[in-house]
Amino acid sequence: MPAIRLLPEGLVNRIAAGEVIERPAAAVKELVENALDAGARRISVAMAGGGIERIEVADDGNGMDAAELALAVQRHATSKLPDDDLVRIATLGFRGEALPSIGAAARLSITSRPAEAAHAWSISVEGGAVTAVAPAAGAPGTRAVVRDLFFATPARRKFLKTPRTEADHAETVLRRLALAAPGVAIRLESDGRVIFDLPAQERAARAGALLGADAAAALLVVEGTRGPLRLSGFVAAPSVTRVSAASQALTVNGRPVADPVLKTAIRVAFRPVIPAGRHPVAALWLDLPADELDVNVHPAKAELRFRDAAAVRALVIGAIGKALGGAAGIDVPAPRPALSLASRRGWSNGGARWTGIPLPGMAEAPLPFVAAPSARRAEAGDGGNAPPSDTETVPAAMISPSAPREAPLGAPLGQVGDTYIVSVAADGTLVLVDQHAAHERLTQEALQAQLLDGGVRSQPLLVPAVVDLPAGEAGRLASRAEDLARLGLELEAFGPGAVLVRALPALLGAPDPAPLLRDLAEELAEWDQAGAADPDGSGEGPFGTLRRRLEAAIARLACHGSIRAGRRLLPAEMDALLRQMEATPRAATCSHGRPTFLTFSAADLAALFQRG
């Protein structure tokens, strides 16, 4: 064994630099955080070659004199800890590692000038070698230039991605910093191209500018308090999602973070309203007493430890849930896709049928009533899509005495393709409603309300139904009979490969139970395969797993028990559906996260027809 030896200071600095500066984005983050801590009101960032070749960060902050500049490039020298207290940290930086780490891995030059000084001072660090401080010309504030990143650690440089990829990472970091400090003007330039140049703004304007045009048009306000914790910010409506969580900007006490507790809470809050595999858009600011969290967890300072993580999680889930709980057309804006009619070479009247107000020269089509699936239609084996018989009557709960055009979703005019309800609001907005998706959400919310009220009400079958299933699926359902009874589904084992269904949820009418049971068996199998009491890391434990299982089952029940696409509706039914949507939380999306309605304003329609 070789003898133990002390490593040279230069090597120690390069090793430590790898923990703090792992890629150009990390250098940008540290330099911009220094500028924010220095009280800058405007920060300008310029990069070349993805930041590998060059990074320049200039600010109008407090600046440093010669003595401070000499100390700033020494390890563990900082102005941000007035004492030895690591609990009440009010600045973004505090370790005193950023500048020496950058200087150990690259060529760093800093020019700085306090506002009252006659001139600036400059210093350089190359691969850990520090030059003497010298007088220089420079405006008040600080200008840091990093060249040849990782020239002193070529092994690290080999692991960098392409300049374009590194530039994208740096841009993401700067966007999060810009959202954390909306009162500071921030400019980003990459290879001579201005990426964004933002003035000092209010939070809403900054969020709208950085989260994307689609998200900016669908921002919902998030507000909530829980003891000393305060949450504020914005989330995009469920109709606006991303393929990753990169568009979630989280700020805690002014510090941009990528905290797993907060990310999990956002995911749990959005789980009932967006499709699986998609991620919501959010910009949230959490403020809490400094002694309620520990920021000294990782050199990059992106992770935190909360004293009461459960309270933080509950606050985030509750506040976002409240924001998402608006009724359709009132608090939750509906999406509007970009349409182009130029590619339509012809119009086929077989693809759509108008069943509302007759057009000139056309006879009005009959409008037979269609309610929830009945036992007769289920027995026909049509999956709930066959026309209803003339003997069916309209339930009183589905009839609305009037169709107020002043309502958010307007007055219904008819259907297109027996699938989409067409409505017009008082301001001329055209509304298209997916009748199955909308009724699915209404059914799910009604079932959920019953579950919270002690259990879903069941409707006994006159003749119990026997459903044949694979032995494993039948056994799985029978073993969960008690849980399923809370959903209004009463069943029991009926031999090795069948179950006997005695009752179904009353809200569903009398659908064929076989497809429903097959879906439920698959849902239960997925949870069993997870093999853990807390498979998604939500922190809710076994009760949370049961609750999520019941919610998933409710979503299945709602899908099977909703009005299907292809069903003609009476005007009273269409009106009742719209009015119920306006009064139902989360009615802007279905159980699978898809939109239930689209809106087209008068301006949108004018643009489609190229009217000036």
Which class does domain 375-441+563-608 fall in?
alpha beta
Query: Could you give the strand order of the β-sheet that contains 411-416, starting from the edge strand earlier in sequence?
Result: 411-416, 420-424, 430-434, 597-600
Which SS3 state, helix, strand or coil, does residue 204 take? helix
| C-alpha atoms less than 13 angstroms from C-alpha of 541 in its C-beta half-sphere | 2
pLDDT of res. 576: 87
Q: What is the chain's alpha carbon radius of gyration, rounded to the nearest angstrom?
A: 31
42-48 and 185-190: which strand pairing?
parallel
Tokens 């009400």 locate to 457
| Contacting residues for 253 by C-beta, under 8 A, at least 6 apart | 90, 286, 287, 288, 290, 293
* Nearest Cα residue to 494 out of 509, 511, 513, 508: 513
- Measured CA to CA, the distance from residue 555 to residue 516 in angstroms comes to 11
- β partners of residue 368: none
- The whole-angstrom separation of Cα 520 and Cα 526 is 10
The encoded tokens of residue 405 equal: 């055009």
Superfamily of domain 460-560: MutL, C-terminal domain, regulatory subdomain (3.30.1370.100)
pLDDT along the chain (612 residues), means of 10: 74 64 91 93 97 96 93 73 54 68 91 94 92 95 95 83 93 94 96 96 94 87 94 90 89 89 90 82 93 71 80 92 71 43 31 31 30 33 39 37 64 87 88 88 79 74 88 86 82 88 76 79 66 45 45 68 77 87 82 81 85 76
Dihedral sign computed on CA atoms, order 588, 589, 595, 596? negative
In whole angstroms, what is the distance from residue 74 CA to residue 72 CA? Answer: 6
The two structure tokens encoding residue 183:
């009162």
What CA–CA distances, in Å, run from 293 to 95, 176, 229, 265, 302?
17, 20, 11, 17, 13
Q: In the 3-class helix/strand/coil scheme, how is 386-399 assigned residue by residue?
A: CCCCCCCCCCHHHC
Q: What is the pLDDT of residue 17?
A: 61
State which H helix or E strand residue 266 sits in: helix 260-270
d(CA 564, CA 436): 5
Q: Where are the beta strands (DSSP E) in 149-246?
A: 185-190, 193-198, 219-226, 229-236, 241-242
Phi/psi of residue 496, nearest 5 degrees: -75, -25
Give the E-state strand segments of 281-325 in sequence order.
282-287, 293-294, 305-306
Question: How far is the C-alpha of 169 from the C-alpha of 39, rounded, in Å?
Answer: 25
- What tokens were used for 404? 């107020």
Return the structure tokens found at 489: 């589904």
Per-residue pLDDT at 300: 59
- At 597, give phi and psi (nearest 5°): -150, 155
Q: Are 491 and 500 in contact (CB under 8 A)?
A: yes
Fill in the DSSP letter of residue 102. H
537 dihedral zone (left: phi>0; alpha: psi -120 to 50; beta): left
Say if residue 551 is exposed, middle or buried (CB neighbours under 10 Å; 0-12, 13-18, 19+): middle
Of 186, 173, 169, 146, the C-alpha closest to 56 is 146
Contact in structure between 215 and 241 (CB atoms under 8 Å): no
pLDDT at position 203, please? 94
**Per-residue pLDDT, 453:** 72
**DSSP states of 54-100 as a string?**
EEEEEE-S----HHHHHHHTSTT--SS-SSS-SSS--SS--SS-HHH
Instruction: Map out the domains of the chain as residue ranges.
Output: 9-198, 203-324, 375-441+563-608, 460-560
Instruction: Indicate the helix (H) or strand (E) that contains 11.
Output: helix 9-20
CATH fold for the domain made of 203-324: Ribosomal Protein S5; domain 2 (3.30.230)
Question: CA triplet 238, 209, 51: central angle to 5 degrees?
Answer: 110
Query: pLDDT tens, 113-162?
Result: 999 999 999 999 998 899 999 999 999 999 999 999 989 888 778 888 99
Instruction: Kindly report whether the global pTM for this prediction surpasses the value 0.85.
Output: no
**Bridge partner residues of 129 (DSSP):** 126
Give the pLDDT of residue 552.
Answer: 64
Report the C-alpha gap between 362 and 414 in whole angstroms: 14
Tell me how far apart the alpha carbons of residues 67 and 395 are, in angstroms, rounded to a whole number: 83
B/e letters for 565-601, b = 16+ CB within 10 Å, e = fewer, are: ebbbbbbbbbbbbbbbbbebbbbbbbbebbbbbbbbe
Among all chains, which residue has been given the structure tokens 């434990």? 541
How is residue 51 annotated by DSSP? G
Fold entry, domain 9-198 = Heat Shock Protein 90 (3.30.565)
Which residue carries 């220095």 as its tokens? 38
Query: Is the C-alpha dihedral spanning 188, 189, 194, 199 positive or negative?
Result: positive
**Residues contacting 365, CB < 8 A, separation 6+:** 353, 354, 355, 358
